[in-house]
Amino acid sequence: MEFSCFCRLVVLVHLFILCVSVTHLHSLATDEAALLALKAHINPETQNILANNWTAATSVCNWIGVTCGGQPRRVTALNLPSMGLNGTLPPHIGNLSALSLFSINNNSFYGSLPNELSHLRSLKTIDFGINFFTGEIPVELGNLTMLNDLYLSYNNLEGTIPWEIGFLTNLKNLSISHNHLTGHIPSSIGNCSLLKEINFSGNNLTGLGKNCTMGVEDGPGTGGFGNFLTLSKSEYAMSFHGGGGGLVLWM
Ligand SMILES: *[C@@H]1O[C@H](CO)[C@@H](O)[C@H](O)[C@H]1NC(C)=O
Ligand SMILES: *[C@@H]1O[C@H](CO)[C@@H](O)[C@H](O)[C@H]1NC(C)=O
Ligand SMILES: *[C@@H]1O[C@H](CO)[C@@H](O)[C@H](O)[C@H]1NC(C)=O
Ligand SMILES: *[C@@H]1O[C@H](CO)[C@@H](O)[C@H](O)[C@H]1NC(C)=O
Ligand SMILES: *[C@@H]1O[C@H](CO)[C@@H](O)[C@H](O)[C@H]1NC(C)=O
Ligand SMILES: *[C@@H]1O[C@H](CO)[C@@H](O)[C@H](O)[C@H]1NC(C)=O
Ligand SMILES: *[C@@H]1O[C@H](CO)[C@@H](O)[C@H](O)[C@H]1NC(C)=O
Ligand SMILES: *[C@@H]1O[C@H](CO)[C@@H](O)[C@H](O)[C@H]1NC(C)=O
Ligand SMILES: *[C@@H]1O[C@H](CO)[C@@H](O)[C@H](O)[C@H]1NC(C)=O
Ligand SMILES: *[C@@H]1O[C@H](CO)[C@@H](O)[C@H](O)[C@H]1NC(C)=O
């Protein structure tokens, strides 16, 4: 009787250990699969250094542009700026769930921004500036509430700026200049009270809706301007000088 209890305990402990280690392997293995999917969506002629570096022969943590961290180890940063890469972002990138920094600045990525980006809840920085992305800014980006920096400048994005951008209450820097965005700048942006810098220049935006109150009246680190803003110019950038109430417009 006692023996059989002990046996069961041993089996349970083994099952538990197996479960835990499978979860570990699965997580980093999932990251690897996601990055191999990304590689497969990059034109082979432009893979350059990735061609022989991003291979299953070495741990994903040793791949160029990849940083791992945490316990269990996961891919936490993907930093691939100015590498001449031409390709699209596959939905698999939505599996890189521990990612905090995602930069592909100054490449030739095209196609739309996958909705799966919104699964990356740990993201603090998205830098997709200077590429050829088309389509709309996914409203689901509003789910990335940890986001500090969102750089989408110099792409071919169209449509309106989603109202849901206002959910990004940790946003400090929003650069969406030089796209083909239209419509009003949503007044919900006033909710992003940590915003230090916004750049809307080089679009076809009609300004804030009438009677939009930007910023919040009080509280530490706010944009600090509770005044009405009605802007009629289609090209401008703003800089909020934290707490001081300064507002600079580039017309
Ligand atoms: C991939 O690149 C990294 C960074 O340059 C380097 O440390 C690593 O050894 C390379 N791996 C392979 C298999 O070439
Ligand atoms: C963009 O990347 C190319 C290499 O692909 C490089 O020559 C160029 O200087 C980079 N431009 C910027 C603004 O970083
Ligand atoms: C990237 O690849 C696509 C598809 O092959 C091609 O149409 C496009 O011209 C390329 N972009 C650049 C900047 O080379
Ligand atoms: C990763 O993402 C893709 C596409 O979103 C999905 O088909 C796949 O099942 C996901 N999971 C793993 C473990 O790769
Ligand atoms: C993600 O965003 C969409 C669109 O804003 C929203 O409908 C959905 O509830 C959000 N999902 C989560 C899990 O927050
Ligand atoms: C703005 O913040 C208020 C208070 O936190 C919230 O009720 C409202 O839904 C937010 N709006 C947007 C667009 O984020
Ligand atoms: C915001 O982003 C722009 C463009 O990348 C950069 O020049 C600027 O320093 C950033 N500002 C802050 C406050 O991080
Ligand atoms: C906005 O972007 C334009 C062009 O990219 C640049 O000249 C300007 O300095 C930027 N302003 C801010 C506040 O980042
Ligand atoms: C900007 O949008 C307005 C109204 O939608 C349109 O009449 C105008 O042609 C657009 N301008 C550019 C440069 O796209
Ligand atoms: C703007 O606000 C003023 C004062 O609160 C109000 O009288 C007016 O009706 C508002 N206009 C619009 C278009 O909402």
Atom of ligand 6 nearest to the CA of 167: 14
Atom of ligand 7 nearest to the CA of 196: 13
Amino acid in position 141? L
Is the pTM higher than 0.85? The answer reads no
pLDDT tens track for 106-157: 999 999 999 999 999 999 999 999 999 999 999 999 999 999 999 999 999 9
Confidence at residue 22, expressed as pLDDT on a 0 to 100 scale: 44
Question: How far out from the chain centre does Cα 148 lie?
Answer: 9
Question: How far out from the chain centre does Cα 101 lie?
Answer: 7
HSE (side-chain half, CA atoms, 13 Å) at 90? 14
Tokens of 118: 């919104």
Tokens of 146: 């940890």
78 pLDDT above the threshold of 70: yes
pLDDT tens track for 187-225: 777 677 677 777 777 887 765 544 343 433 333 333 333
Q: How far apart are CA 41 and CA 104, in angstroms?
A: 14
CA 121 to centroid of ligand 5, rounded, Å = 12
Q: Is 204 in the pocket of ligand 9 (CB under 6 A)?
A: yes
HSE (side-chain half, CA atoms, 13 Å) at 246? 7
Instruction: Report percent pLDDT > 70 for the chain.
Output: 70
Atom 6 (ligand 9): residue with closest C-alpha?
204
CA 229 to centroid of ligand 10, rounded, Å = 13
For the chain, what is the mean pLDDT?
78
Pocket test for ligand 3, best of 83, 86, 109 (most atoms within 8 A of CB): 86
pLDDT band at residue 183 using 50, 70 and 90 as cut-offs: confident
Domain ranges within the chain, ordered by starting residue: 1-209+227-240
Confidence at residue 240, expressed as pLDDT on a 0 to 100 scale: 43
Q: Is 207 in the pocket of ligand 4 (CB under 6 A)?
A: no
31 pLDDT above the threshold of 90: yes
Q: How far apart are CA 3 and CA 66, in angstroms?
A: 49
Confidence at residue 250, expressed as pLDDT on a 0 to 100 scale: 34
CA 142 to centroid of ligand 6, rounded, Å = 12
230 pLDDT above the threshold of 50: no
pLDDT band at residue 33 using 50, 70 and 90 as cut-offs: very high
Contact 80, 107 (CB under 8 A): yes
Contact 12, 5 (CB under 8 A): no
Ligand number with the minimum distance to the CA of 64: 1
Q: How far apart are CA 107 and CA 132, in angstroms?
A: 8
Superfamily designation of domain 1-209+227-240: Ribonuclease Inhibitor (3.80.10.10)
Among candidate residues 103, 99, 95, 110, the one with its CA nearest the CA of residue 36? 95
Confidence at residue 18, expressed as pLDDT on a 0 to 100 scale: 47
Q: Computed over its alpha carbons, how large is the radius of gyration of the chain?
A: 22
